[in-house]
Chain A
Amino acid sequence: MSALFELTSLKGSRARTPEEKAARRKEAGRDNLAGYLFLLPWLVGLVVITIGPLIASLYLSFTDYSLIQAPEWTGLENYVRMLEDPRLHNALRVTFIYVVVGTPLQLVVALGIALLLNEGMKGLAFYRSIFYLPSLLGGSVAIALLWRQLFGTDGLVNQLLRLLGVDATIGWVSDPSYALWTIILLHVWTFGSPMVIFLAGLRQIPAMYYEAAAVDGATRWSRFIRITLPLLSPIIFFNLVLQVIGAFQSFTQAFVVSNGTGGPSDSTMFYTLYLYDRGFGNFEMGYAAAMAWLLVVIVGALTAVNFLLSRFWVFYDD
């Protein structure tokens, strides 16, 4: 990840000769003082609040730590155990499906709705707020209960299907074959946050480009492809990176819908849910910490790939 900025920069050309390298070094340190002054609050936060727990969790991942007693050093035991823990492997599988299916689906819906809502029309503020509502409610206990009821064997969904002539007796949240998909649906349904970020991004595209394109008689589609997408790409990139990270850490929805069990039969046992279950439910915080660092490695690698790929499609003006 050492060259993130160069990689992501559109004009990131690499210095080759010693003189160029020296020049680049000088360039890199141009704003040293100002840079660190602006960064000061974040640095203080990092040192005082973040780094300690970060390192502590790394240390704990090599221990047996029940929370109640002091940690005991066990070396690589937790990491070895991860290799042969079938529930962990299942959690990884469930989470990958969720990330691979849920994230793109949610982003496409969010972008589509954001584009629709970005055009001048009456009642815009109202629609925007309505579409954001599920995200306000997403993690609440009441909504989880309603969700379980709607998708229950006698729930509204099955009743609607029966009206359509389908003999529906499926327990959408209680059958291990379907439960994950209803949670993915719940995830897509709460597309409010990426939508808002897209909207803000769309608003930042200067109108002059569209006006110039309109003068040239560009179609809606070509305006979208040639102006909107490139200029929105940093924001699309942000949403992609953060939604992938977020999806890997997905916890609340699965927790409330399955009552914290990840059930039925571990079919919605997301990685973080299992981590929480080990750490707090079964007093194995050392193992949970090891799981957390495996997650960091996986998500970090994916994020690095995301950054590498971004140089091909993300456009920055710097």
Chain B
Amino acid sequence: MAVNRRQFLTAAGGLAAVAGSGGLAACGGSGSGGGGGNADGSAELAFAWWGNEVRNANTTAAIDAYTAANPNVTISPQPGEWASYWDKLATQTAGNTAPDIIQMDMAYISEYGTRGALLDLEEYGVDVSKFAEGTVDSGRIEGKLYGVNAGINTPTILANPELYEEAGVDMPDDTTWTWEEYGAIAEELSAKLGSGSFGSDSIFNDVLLSAYLRQQGKELFTPEGLGFAVEDVIPWFELMKSFVDSGALPDAARISEGATKPLDQGDFVVGNSAMAQYWSNQVEAVNKSSGKTMAILRYPSTTGQATDRQAWYKASMLWSASARTRHPEAAVALISWWVNSPESADANLAERGIPANLEIRERITPELSEDQQAVATFIADIEPELGTTPIAPPPGGGELGDIMQRYQLDMLFGRTAPADAANGFYTEATSNLKV
């Protein structure tokens, strides 16, 4: 099709409009509101989080408490749902309208942090003085504190006592079990529980890969990229294959099915499997959905000693602030209040995870549900077993678990050998990183 002058001008005009929009470049302030001058400390803050309606209610109550105590601050809440939250945040960031306060996740913090979208909270004096050891560093990237721990999380193995009893198997000693023993116990459970039930969900996710690697003196990520070599993950793929072959884990189709199920429909929660890996802040939801009280266990170790298992505290989520906020002081003040004040603690309790602030933890513990008290105890108990705090996944690292799962399924469906699967995983995980 020939292009005449008029068409060309139209096209040029459009391009000019885009270039002029400047949104593609970085300039301008946060779009949280029109509010300008803050000489009197007044500020309008946009506050975004994801969660279900319970969290929405808690968070709204805490916001109300804050604005009641600080009448010159107005807060516009932006609640959302996990999956779509990130689409919206990315679009807003591109349009220079990111919310001032952002509930952040470990999987994304370096994507935003290293690209300059987040505020260094320490520069504006965020207060983390009363935080438990190892809980602040989760949000630190290249020396800057881009996020403050909003609740402590740690990986656990949950076990269903009823199924253990039904199978006539004793609860394992989680301070001494190894990966192989885990497989043997799961195999025994599968055999004794009969068809339709099995000993364990797949535990071969990125969380426990991290644990497994740390026990070999490696890490999932270093600031330079992957913290391990192909040779380190080949045994991991082989171990998974052997667990599936022995019947400790379900077959490929069920593992594949399990990967897409929401928590409340998982095999473990509905009583089809006796063990599974969950984060500690999911225990209450698991118990609530299953109607049972699950046993909270440590994940296995290579040496058979819990003190060697290189446990860690992860931030269940973090509080970040937009680098382009017009009111950095006000935003950081709000974050400090959120993680340190009794008023905030009373509204939020441990809904986002056990608080990292030790005083706050002590204050709210009596108020917590039995499930959450059990979690708080577990988190305190494992303190001697903690290794170093893993760094946040670098940009492109958040998809590592998905990539691994794809190659694992290829292996389990008999399309590749374990070593090839491990190789494929390693190559793609490496090329996906942007460091």
Contacts and interface: CB of A to CB of B under 8 A. Distances in A.
Q: Touching in the complex, A and B, CB below 8 A?
A: yes
Interface of A: 1-2, 47, 51-56, 59-60, 65-71, 145, 148, 152-154, 169-171, 173-177, 258-261, 263-266, 280-283, 285
A59 B253 contact: no
Kindly list the 8 A-B residue pairs having the minimum CB-CB distance in the complex, ordered from nearest: A171-B253, A174-B256, A174-B257, A51-B14, A68-B115, A264-B256, A259-B260, A70-B25
B93 interface: yes
B179 interface: no
Contact of B90 (A52, A258, A259, A280): A280
Contacts of B86: 280-281
B42 interface: no
Contacts of B91: 67
Nearest to A56: B18
B65 interface: no
B83 interface: yes
A283 B114 CA distance: 13
Contacts of A169: 253
B11 interface: yes
7 contacts: A60-B24, A67-B91, A68-B117, A153-B257, A173-B257, A174-B257, A283-B396
Residue from A56, A170, A264 whose CB has the most chain B CB atoms within 10 Å: A264
Contact of A55 (B11, B396, B406): B11
Contacts of A283: 90, 111, 395-396
B87 interface: yes
Given A69-B115, A152-B257, A281-B399, A59 B406 contact: no
B18 A263 contact: no
B68 interface: no
A213 to B, nearest CB: 42
B111 A153 contact: no
Contact of B256 (A171, A260, A285): A171
Contact of A1 (B1, B24, B111, B409): B1
Contacts of B17: 52
Contacts of B58: none
Nearest to B411: A265
Nearest to B18: A56
Contacts of A52: 14, 17-18, 21
A261 B18 contact: no
B116 interface: yes
A89 B115 CA distance: 30
Contacts of B229: none
B196 A263 contact: no
A283 B93 CA distance: 12
B94 A68 contact: yes
A60 B13 CA distance: 17
A282 B432 contact: yes
B186 to A, nearest CB: 19
Interface string B111-153: 1100111000000000000000000000000000000000000
Given A175-B413, A282-B399, 12 more contacts: A47-B10, A55-B11, A66-B395, A67-B94, A152-B257, A153-B257, A154-B196, A174-B254, A174-B256, A176-B256, A263-B406, A264-B259
B26 interface: yes
A66 B115 contact: yes
B435 interface: no
Nearest to B108: A283
Interface of B: 1-2, 10-11, 13-15, 17-18, 21, 24-26, 83, 86-87, 90-91, 93-94, 111-112, 115-117, 196, 252-254, 256-257, 259-262, 265, 395-396, 399, 402, 405-406, 409-410, 413, 415, 432
A263 B26 contact: no
Contacts of B11: 51, 55
Given A1-B1, A67-B93, A265 B406 contact: yes
Contact of B409 (A53, A54, A66, A264): A264
Contact of B260 (A70, A263, A266, A281): A263
Contact of B413 (A47, A258, A265): A265
B10 A51 contact: yes
B409 A47 contact: no
Given A70-B24, A70-B26, A261 B402 contact: yes
Contact of B93 (A68, A170, A259): A68
A2 B7 CA distance: 14
Given A263-B256, A282-B396, A282-B432, A54 B14 contact: yes
Given A68-B112, A259-B260, A282-B399, A55 B15 contact: yes
Nearest to B118: A68
B13 A175 contact: no
Contacts of A175: 252-253, 256, 413
Given A69-B115, A152-B257, A259-B260, A265 B410 contact: yes
Contacts of A171: 253-254, 256-257
A35 B160 CA distance: 72
A212 B395 CA distance: 71
B94 A263 contact: no
Contacts of A282: 396, 399, 432
Given A170-B253, A280-B90, A283-B90, A47 B15 contact: no
A170 B254 CA distance: 10
A295 B398 CA distance: 27
